[in-house]
Structures are given as structure tokens and as C-alpha cells.
Amino acid sequence: MNPTIELLNSHRSIRKFKDQKIPRDLFETIIRAGQSAATSSHVQAYSIIHVVNPENRAKLVELTGGQTYVADSSDFLVFCADMKRPTEAAERAGAEVVRGMMEQLLVASVDTALMAQNIAVAAESEQLGICYIGGIRNHPADVSEILRLPEHVYPVFGMCLGYPDQNPEVKPRLPLASILKEDYYQDEQDLAQIGAFDDTMRTYYLERTGGNKETNWSEQLKPLFTSKLRPHMSSFLKARGFEMK
Amino acid sequence: MNPTIELLNSHRSIRKFKDQKIPRDLFETIIRAGQSAATSSHVQAYSIIHVVNPENRAKLVELTGGQTYVADSSDFLVFCADMKRPTEAAERAGAEVVRGMMEQLLVASVDTALMAQNIAVAAESEQLGICYIGGIRNHPADVSEILRLPEHVYPVFGMCLGYPDQNPEVKPRLPLASILKEDYYQDEQDLAQIGAFDDTMRTYYLERTGGNKETNWSEQLKPLFTSKLRPHMSSFLKARGFEMK
């Protein structure tokens, strides 16, 4: 296994950071590595807001549900799907632009995620730690106001970056056979595989908590799907010009 | 710059592959590296269909608009956002599950993209070439039928993997200052930066084509936005249980 693949396999989220800043030139190197990711039709439908202002970072801690590392990490980024820049560029070149298509929302969201993952890998290759912050979608309208996001731009997720001050274990993943299927979607084996994975996760949680947390993968998923998680997302996106037509 | 960042910066899509198969153990190593990517609340809302059957690959060439490398690459993957597995796991654990939320579509699409980008990086770290195939969304209902995708699973994009039989240049990206903004979304400088980038791309296209292709970034974007690209995506997703509630 080569060092890059070893690096990928060693990923775990870091939620406690040293009080040490990432040098600006390294920070820019990492962002540029993000830009090198594939982008649909070269559209590059993303913007990153680098939140430096301490008051805004404190507000974002609140808006993401009290995740203090949003303020305590060296750098906090909000990754935005951005259909404003490319559609306006096409418009200036003379196109009569159609906006609000579902396809555009997908393209921009996927472009943003590919770029962010390259940033995660680049950061970790420099012994930095990262944590994605999906909680940025808890209150996306407030986040958009703080960051002054215009129409056709929406915050997909955040990311903390910094020097790790903890060394958590790598979290197990589903068996390869569950997620990789040959030729057709087959899930006859899923039940047995998920049962085995539930056992794996049960052991993982017990060992990590000295026997105090007895749960498993399926149990952990329950609160995600029993309630309408982030039920505002559909109306929020429509209000921002992502009409899902 | 470390070797991993150099690798990320060297990415370009490969569309011509040698007639050489990726060994199975390396293939599995690459997929596992994909699974190591961050996943929202550990949900792992993705499945990969590894299309091996030559007839199906030939059909997918047609359905993606004649991209012959979908058949000619060593391996072709269809990356699917999969909300079936996690919601059913939660259901078996006793949850009354809510489906069809916009948030779930986003979580699954982003999870899928993060995983795919790790696969791209892992593959390239082994001197393989890759090409994302967004054309899988040209006819997503037909693709879903061929791959027998159930409800709550949709094909986000494809990916060709194999040993490169071409060595294209790295394509320029927007200036860092266009996509990286401090504290607020500011685009006062965008017009000048995009003008400069249009010049960069004009030179790039001229040099690559011996003077035959005179265009730029903004011009290239026009056809993407003047027509309703993939106008079926919204109704397709709804029909597959992604109701965007």
C-alpha cells in the first residue's frame, strides 16, 4: 500500500486542536490542491468563505449546535455551492441563462464536495486534522446572512482545519461487499453484513467508552431518520434561487 | 510541496486507456480507500455498481452520449447515492422512518462525492487514470433500470478507471482569489479575475489545438446554461423516492 493510500485510510475527524495557526502559504497550497479536483464541464461551481472574524466564528459555533472547534480550530471554512459565478459569466458572454434547475444544484453540490475532499486530503498530508461540519445546514439562512451569500450560492458544509490535539481511532466502515455490487444492485446479503457491522460498531463503542456506550450502527442511525432532520432545507434552497426545477 | 499534494495538483481526466486490467486486489484497495472518506453521521449513504457485463457497458456508452471510454477503461463504476440501506437499518432497529427529505438527498449526494474523490486520489496514486462521467445523468431512469437500482438509490455519476494511454495537460483553474473569500462573499474583483482567466483559457485552447480552437471559459459555459440541461432530474428523483420535501 503506498503512502497516499495509507494516508487516506488513516482519516478520522479531529475535534480538538492545538493553539497554533496554519501558515498562510501552506493554507493557500491546500486550497489550490482543492481546486485541482475534477469539476463538471470545468464549471468550478464553488466558493469558500474563510471565516476569520472571531465574532462570526463565535456565532457559527452557536448556529452549528455548540461545536466549539468551529471557533477553536486554526481555520474555519464554509464551502458554498456557487452557481452565481458561472451563470453570470455565461450571461456576460451573451447566453440567455436558465437558472434554478435541479441539475445545477447537483452539479454545484458535487463540485463543492470533490474540491473539499481534496482539501481534506491535502491538509492531512501535512499532518493537519480536519472535521466536516454538516451542522452548517442547521440554520442555513442565518449562516447565509452572516457570510452575505448572494442568490444562487448556498452553504453546503463547513470544515475545521488545524493541528490535532487528540488522536482518535479510525472509525470502522461497512464491509466492502455491502457497498460494492457487481453489475446490479443486490442486497440479499445486506442483512447479514449489517448485522456483522452492528457487532463491529458495538465493540468499537464499548472499547472506546470503557464499556459505557452500548449501541451499534443501526441504533445510532435511528434519530437521523425518525424526525424530519433539517426540514427547512427545501424551502431554504428555493428561497436562494435553487428552485429544483 | 509534499508528494500527495503534488499528486492532487497533477490531476487531469483520462479518456484513453491501455488494454490492461487493474488487478482485483488493487481495485479493492482503492475502493476501501474511498470508504475511508468522511461520512455524515457515519451514514455511508452510498453504493457503487461495478459494471462488468460488456453488454451493459456498451449500453452505458450510448446512454452517456457516446463516451467510448465507458466501455474501454479497465473498470467502470456507477456511484449511487443510497438512502435505502441506512433508512432500512434504522427501521429494523425500530425507528419510524421519514423519507424523501431534501436534507437526505444532500447528505447522500455529498457522501457519495467525498467517497468517489478518495477513490480518484487512490487510483491516481497508483498511476491509474480516471474520468468522472456526469453523463450518467443524461438518462438516469434507463441507467437505473439496467443496474436494477431500487427506490431511494440514484446514480450520481460514473467513473472510468484504468491505465492511461494518453498524457493530457493539467487544465488551469480559476484564480485562488476568485473562489476563496475572507469573511464575506465579495465579488467586486470577480469581473477582472474572470477576464484574466478567460485569457488564460483562450491561450490554453489555442496551444492545445494548434490555433484551431479559439474560445475561453465564459464562452465554453454558454451551452451549459442556455438550455435546460438534464431537465428530467427533478421528476426522476421524485419518482425514485427522493421527493425533496
Convert the pLDDT of each residue in A26-49 to its tens digit: 999 999 999 999 999 999 999 999
Q: Are residues B101 and B189 in the same domain?
A: no
Examine the pLDDT at A221 and tell me if it is beyond 90.
yes
Q: Are residues B23 and B137 in the same domain?
A: yes
- B65-115 confidence digits (pLDDT tens): 999 999 999 999 999 999 999 999 999 999 999 999 999 999 999 999 999
Q: Is position A223 within any domain?
A: no
Per-position b or e across A106-141, b if 16+ CB within 10 A of its CB: bbbbbbbbbbbbbbbbbbbbbebbbbbbbbbbbbbb
Give the one of B89, B101, B180 whose C-beta lies nearest to A229's C-beta: B101
Chain A residue with CA closest to B106: the answer is A109
pLDDT at res. A228: 76
Q: What values do phi and psi take at B157, rounded to 5?
A: -165, 170
Q: Are residues A23 and A59 in the same domain?
A: yes
Other beta carbons within 10 angstroms of residue B191's beta carbon come to 12
**Interface size, chain A vs chain B, as Cβ–Cβ contacts under 8 Å:** 358
| The dihedral sign for the CA sequence A99, B140, B15, A5 | positive
Q: Are residues B199 and B132 in the same domain?
A: no
* Distance (Å, whole) CA A134 – CA A216: 22
CB-based contact B98 A227, cutoff 8 Å = yes
pLDDT at res. A182: 98
Q: Are residues B195 and B233 in the same domain?
A: no
Domain that holds residue A65: 3-170+235-239
Give the one of B37, B103, B226 whose C-beta lies nearest to A117's C-beta: B37
Helical residues (DSSP H) of chain B, grouped into ranges: 3-9, 24-35, 54-63, 69-72, 84-92, 102-125, 140-146, 176-179, 190-208, 217-226, 233-239
> Tell me, what DSSP letter sits at residue A22?
P
Is this prediction's ipTM beyond 0.95? yes
Examine the pLDDT at B54 and tell me if it is beyond 90.
yes
- Cβ atoms of B15 and A97 within 8 Å: the answer is no
What's the whole-model pTM score? 0.98
Under 8 Å CB-to-CB from A115, ≥6 apart: which residues?
A: A34, A35, A37, A39, A46, A79
Give the one of A36, A41, A96 whose C-beta lies nearest to B8's C-beta: A36
Which cell numbers in the block locate residue B98?
A: 421519514
- Please report, for the domain that includes residue A15, its CATH number: 3.40.109.10
CB-based contact A182 B157, cutoff 8 Å = no
Chain A residue with CA closest to B236: the answer is A102
CB-based contact B181 A47, cutoff 8 Å = yes
